Chains A and B, each alone.
Chain A
C-alpha cells in the first residue's frame, strides 16, 4: 500500500540513504513527495528494469561458471565472483519481499515522547546520531565507488585469459578471453568491436549498481543501530538529573530551583519562588480547601509552607514535571527496545544469508590465497575480494557490538549517580532499571548468531585456520 507518509522521525534522518536506494533500483516506493499514478508507474518501471538487468547479467555469469567448470582454478575463481554478487541479488529480492517490514521499522520513531526538561539533551544526541549516520553514508559510498574504480582499473592489467583443462594430457592451458571486468557468457561476440564496448559499459553499470544495492541496505541497518545507540546515550545522560528530580519530591534538597530551570524557558509563566506566593499567607491551612484542591492522582498541595511530604516546596507544575520525568525515561527506554526488536526482525534474515554466503566465499578465498606467488594481478584481486568481504562483515559487527555495549552500560550509569542519597522512589526506580538493563540488547541473525565483534573474530579465525590447513595440504 503506497500511502503518502509525511517525512518525520527516522525517515527524515535517513532521507539521503532512502533517495540513494531509490536511485539504485531498490523497490522502495514510499516517501516520495509526489504520489501521482504516472510517476508511481514510472518508478516501478525503473526499479523493474534495474532488477531485470541485474538478474540477467547475474545469470549470464552463472552460465559462464557452468560452461568452464572443468578446470579447478577457473571454477573456483568464477564461484567466488558469483557468490560475491549473490549478496546484491539476495538483498534486492529481500527488500522487495520485506518492504512492509522495513517501512514499519522506519515508522517506529514517528511518534516519540518528549519532556520539557530533557528536550535539549534529546536534540543534542539526535544531532550526534544524524552526523554519524551521514558520515557513515559518505564513507560507504566512497568505498563503493573506489572499489568499482579499482576493479575496472585492474581489468587492464595482466593477461586476459581463462584456464582450460586439456582433456587428453590433463594439464592446464590458457585461451584468450574478452578483457572485461567480469567473466560472463553473452549471446553476442564480445572479443572486440562495438559489442565489446557495449558489454564493458554494461558491466561497469552492473558493478556500480549491484555493489550500491548491497551496501546501501547495510548502511541503513547500521544507521538504525547508530540511532538506537545515541538514544541510549541520551537516556544515560539524563539519568543523573532524573534522580535528583525524583529525590526532590520527598527529600530536602537545597537547589531544587536549578533542576527546573530548563522548564522556565519553555513555559511562558514564571516559575514562582515558594516564598513569593502571597497566597500562602491567606491559605495557610489545608482545612480551608479540603478535598477540592486535591488534584487528580492525589497530588500534593503546594500552597502553604513546605509540608512534610513536600520538603522543597515545589509547585504543582514542578511536581508534575518531576513525576512525569520517570515516566518519560521508562517510556523512551521501552521505545528503544521496540525499535531494536523491530530492527532485528526486519534485517535478521538478511544477515543470516549474508553470513552464510560470506562463510563459503571466505573459505574459497582462503584456498585462492594459498596460490599467491608474487605481486601480480591475481594477488591484488584475491586480496581485494578478501578485504572487501571481511570489511562487509566487520561493518555490521562493529555496530552490533556497540549496541550491546551501550545497552549494558545503562546499568553502570544508573549505579554511578548518587542513588544512596536519594529518595526511596529514586532508589526503587534505579533498581528496577538496573534489573532490566542487565540483559543487553542485541541483534541476532534470525536467532542463529549474535552480531558482535566475537562473530567477526570467529570468522577471521576460521579464515586463517582454513588458510593454514590448505597451505599444509599443498
Chain B
C-alpha cells in the first residue's frame, strides 16, 4: 500500500499535466520551458488585472468586481511559487511518507489510511467541481448577459480590443484556458498540503490502534510473562517514536506551506466583503450573479476544508492522550508505567497547525473569519449608502 499514491494520485496527475509537480533529477529542457510558460501566463493575467484596478481606481463598483479576481489570481501565483520554491521540503515529506515508521503493519492500519484518504479526496473533489463550475459560469457570462456587445469573461486590461474578430476569440480563449488552469493548480497545491495533514491524522489513529493492542498478561503462563512484558514495552516505544515522527512531519508541512495559508486566510476576509457588495448590486437573474455566488461557495469551501483539516489534526492528537490511558497499563511492569507517564505528558500537548506560524486552523477560526468579513461588509455597505 503506497501512502503517497493513496493520498496524492489525483493531485500528482493534475500537477504533472500543469507542469508544476516536482521535476525528476534530470529534467528535460522541454518540461522546464513548459513549466515556465504555464507560470508566465498566470503572472501575465495577474499583471493585466493590476493594470485594470489602477485604471478603474475611484469607481468602487468596478474595483470591487476586479478585486476578487485579482486576489484569487495573486493568491494562486503566490501559492504555486511557494510550492515550487519549497519542493525540497515536499521531497522530504514524500520520503517520510514512504518510510518504515509510517508503513501500515496490519489490515486495520491500511483501512485507517484508506478511510482518511477517501475523506480528503471527497472534499477536494467537491471543491474541484465548484471551481470548474465557476470558471464555466464566468466563460458563459459574455454569451448570456452581454449578448450583442462583445466583452471578455473577466474585466481586465487586455492588449487586444474586443472589436476585431480573430483577436476577440483569441483573447476569450486565452482568458478561459488560463483561468481553468489556475483552478486546477489551486486544487493541486491545496491537495498536497491538506493530504499531508490528513496523513498525519491517519498516522495518529494508527498509533492509537497500536497502543490498544497491548496484550494482557493475566492469562499468560508464568514463563511467557516476561516476553509479553518486553513486547508490550517495545510497542510503547514504537508508539513514542511514531508520535515524534508525526510531530516533525507536521512541523515540516507547516514550515513549507504556512505562508500562503496565512495570505489566503487574511485575503478571504477582503474577498467576502467585495463579493457580498457585488451581489447586492447585481440583478439576481443574470449569469454574473450565479457566477459570484458559485465563486463565494468555492472560497468558503476552500477555507472550510483548511480549518476542518487543522481541527481534525488537533482533535485527533488530543484524543491520543485519552486513548493512551485506556490501554492495559496497570498490568504492565514499572518500567512501562514510568515510560507511559512520560509519553502521556508529551501527548497532553495537542498538535496545532498554524497558518503563518500564528493563526491556528480550527473551526473557531473559520467562524471568526466569517464574522470579521460580515462586520467589514456592513461598514462598507453603510459607507456606500452615505
Residues of A in contact with B (beta carbons under 8 Å apart)? 411-412, 415-416, 419-420, 427, 430-431, 434-435, 438, 453, 457, 468, 471-472, 474
Output the nearest chain B residue to A468 by Cβ-Cβ distance.
B379
Given contacts A420-B339, A468-B375, A468-B376, A412 and B345 within 8 Å (CB-CB): no
B379 touching A471 by the CB < 8 A rule?
yes
Q: Is B164 an interface residue (CB 8 A)?
A: no
Interface residue ranges of B372-386 to A (CB < 8 Å): 375-376, 379, 382-383, 386
How far, in Å, is A240 (CB) from chain B's closest CB?
Answer: 13
- Bitwise interface map of B from 342 to 386 toward A, beta carbon under 8 Å scored 1, else 0: 100110010000000010000000000000000110010011001
A412 touching B379 by the CB < 8 A rule?
no
Interface residue ranges of B231-255 to A (CB < 8 Å): 236-237, 240-241, 244, 247-248
B383 touching A471 by the CB < 8 A rule?
yes
CA distance in complex: A431, B46 (Å): 54
A-B contacts, 17 listed (Cβ < 8 Å): A411-B346, A412-B247, A412-B346, A415-B244, A415-B346, A416-B244, A416-B247, A420-B339, A427-B339, A430-B342, A431-B345, A434-B346, A435-B345, A457-B358, A471-B383, A472-B379, A474-B386
How far, in Å, is B96 (CB) from chain A's closest CB?
Answer: 15
Main secondary structure of the interface of A (DSSP, over half): helix
Chain B residues near A431 (CB, 8 Å)?
341-342, 345
Interface size class of B (residues with CB under 8 A): 20 to 34
Chain B residues near A416 (CB, 8 Å)?
244, 247-248
How far, in Å, is A463 (CB) from chain B's closest CB?
Answer: 14
Q: Is B218 an interface residue (CB 8 A)?
A: no
CA distance in complex: A472, B237 (Å): 61
Residues of B in contact with A (beta carbons under 8 Å apart)? 236-237, 240-241, 244, 247-248, 338-339, 341-342, 345-346, 349, 358, 375-376, 379, 382-383, 386
CA distance in complex: A435, B237 (Å): 20
Closest 7 CB pairs of A and B: A468-B379, A415-B346, A420-B237, A416-B244, A472-B382, A431-B342, A453-B358
B338 touching A427 by the CB < 8 A rule?
yes
How far, in Å, is A142 (CB) from chain B's closest CB?
Answer: 25
Chain B residues near A453 (CB, 8 Å)?
358
A419's partner among B342, B349, B383 (CB-CB below 8 A) is: B342
How far, in Å, is A334 (CB) from chain B's closest CB?
Answer: 21
Chain A residues near B244 (CB, 8 Å)?
415-416
CA distance in complex: A431, B375 (Å): 48
Chain B residues near A471 (CB, 8 Å)?
379, 383
Chain A residues near B247 (CB, 8 Å)?
412, 416
CA distance in complex: A435, B240 (Å): 18
How far, in Å, is A250 (CB) from chain B's closest CB?
Answer: 14
Output the nearest chain A residue to B339 by Cβ-Cβ distance.
A420
Chain A residues near B379 (CB, 8 Å)?
468, 471-472
Chain B residues near A412 (CB, 8 Å)?
247, 346
Output the nearest chain B residue to A420 by Cβ-Cβ distance.
B237
CA distance in complex: A86, B248 (Å): 46
Chain A residues near B237 (CB, 8 Å)?
420
Chain A residues near B358 (CB, 8 Å)?
453, 457
Chain A residues near B346 (CB, 8 Å)?
411-412, 415, 434
CA distance in complex: A451, B172 (Å): 53
